[in-house]
Structure 1
Amino acid sequence: MTIRRTLVALAAAAGLVLVGASPAIAGGNPHFIKSATSASIDGVSLVVEFKEAGLSSGSVETIQATADLEALYQCVNGGGNVPSDPKKTVFDDSVSESGVFTAGQNGNLVGTLMLDPPDADAVLDCPGGQTSTLVSVVWSNVVVDDLTSGATIMVKGTFSGP
C-alpha cells in the first residue's frame, strides 16, 4: 500500500506542475522574428516592419521603433537654388515612434511604424524669400522594442535618401 500511495502522490504532484506550467507555455517566449523585421526608406521617412512571436493570444503590446537620424537642412531661394552663402544646419539625434498592437490567435503580432524627420521649418529659420528645405537623411541604429513584453531587436543597415 505504501508504494501505491507514493505513486498516487507523485502523479498528483506531476499533474499540478503541468497545470501550473500551462499559462507560461501559452504566453511563450516573446521575441521578434529577424527574417520578418526590416527597415526601408520611403522618401525621407524610415518604414520599420516587424513580426513578434511567442505572445499570448490577444495580448496588447506597445511597440516602439527608434533610430538615429542625421538630416541636412538648407535654405533654398524662390528659384529652387541654394544661395552662394548657404545657410544650413544638421539635425543629429534619435527619433522614435510607437504604437499599440494586438497579437493574433497564434500569438504573433505583425505591424509597421514610420519614423519621420522633423519639419524643415522647425529646424532651420531662413531669411525672407528663402525656404527651409530638407536636403538629405541618413537613418541608422534602428531598434524595435516591445515595451510590454521586453522583446527587442536591432535592424542592421544604414538607410539614406532622397
Structure 2
Amino acid sequence: MLGVGPAFAASLHFISASASFASASSPNLNVNFKEASLGDTVTINYTASADATATYACINGGNNHPQAANKATVNGPVSSSGAFSSGKNGSITASLTLTPPSAGSFSCPNGQRLVLADVSYTNVAITDTTNNVSRSIAGTFSKTLFNFWTGRTVPERPRSAAAAALPSVQRQGRPTTGGARAVAGRTEGRLAPEGPGSA
C-alpha cells in the first residue's frame, strides 16, 4: 500500500460526510463520504461507526405481537470498514454500510417469527484510519420497520385505487356506529342511517 507524504497528510480532509438509510424498507445505514488531498493512486482504509439500538419482537401467524415479554431491545456499537483507492485525482468518494446489532440470544417460541421492529443510529462517524482523520455526522437516524398496531411491515403496501376512493369516514378514524369495525388501521362497514329531519 502506498503511503501519504507529509505535504499531503497536512492538508487531507473530508469534503463531505452524510448518512441515509439504504432504502425505504431497509434497516441499514449508508455512510457516504468524500476525502480530498490524498495524493494520486493511494489506498486508504476507512471505518464507519455508530452507536445503534434495535428492537426485535416475536410475531405470530396473524402478524400480531401476542406478549409484551416477547420483545427485546439491544444496544451496541456497530462498524463497517473498507479500503478505497484515490486514483489520479487525489480524492476518494465512497460509501460504507452499517447494519443493526443482532438479536443475540433472543429467540421466538414455535409458531412465531422474529422481526426487527425498529432501529436507530447515533454518534455516526467516518474515519480515515490510515491517516487518523475523522468526521462526525450529526443527528439521530431512526426507522420503524414493523407497526405493532397494524401488524404490518413499514412502509405499508399502497392501498388499491378502490380503497383509496372510499369516503374518509369509512377509511379512517374511530368507528361511530355498530355497523362499522376497525381493521388494520382503518374503519370499514356501512354508514349510519340518517336520522329524522336530515336533508
Instruction: Please say whether Structure 1 and Structure 2 have the same fold, judged by a TM-score greater than 0.5.
Output: yes
**Counterpart amino acid of residue 51 in structure 1:** K
Please list, as runs of the form range in 1=range in 2, the aligned pairs for 1:10-89 lying within 5 A after superposition.
24-25=6-7, 29-33=11-15, 36-42=16-22, 43-89=26-72
Q: Matches of 1:156 and 1:109 in 2, distance apart? A: 21
**Equivalent position of 2:126 in the other structure:** 144
User: % of aligned pairs identical?
Assistant: 38
1:110 aligns with 2:90: no
Q: CA deviation at 1:104?
A: 2.5
The one-letter amino acid of 2:71's match is: K
Q: Give, in angstroms, the shift of residue 89 of structure 1.
A: 0.8
Counterpart pick for 2:117 among 118, 135, 147: 135
Higher helix share: 1
Detail structure 1 runs of 4+ shifted over 4 Å in the superposition: none
User: Is the CA contact (8 Å cut-off) linking 2:45 and 2:82 kept in structure 1?
Assistant: yes
* Structure 2 residue 131 is matched with structure 1 residue 157: no
> CA separation in 2, counterparts of 1:108 and 1:90?
40
Give the unaligned 5+ runs of structure 1: 1-22
Counterparts of 1:2-17 in structure 2 under 5 Å? none
Q: Distance between the aligned counterparts of 1:103 and 1:72, measured in 2?
A: 38
The gaps in structure 2 that reach 5 residues or longer are 145-199
CA change 1:64–1:31 in 2 (3 A) is same
Cα-Cα RMSD = 1.7
Number of residue equivalences:
137
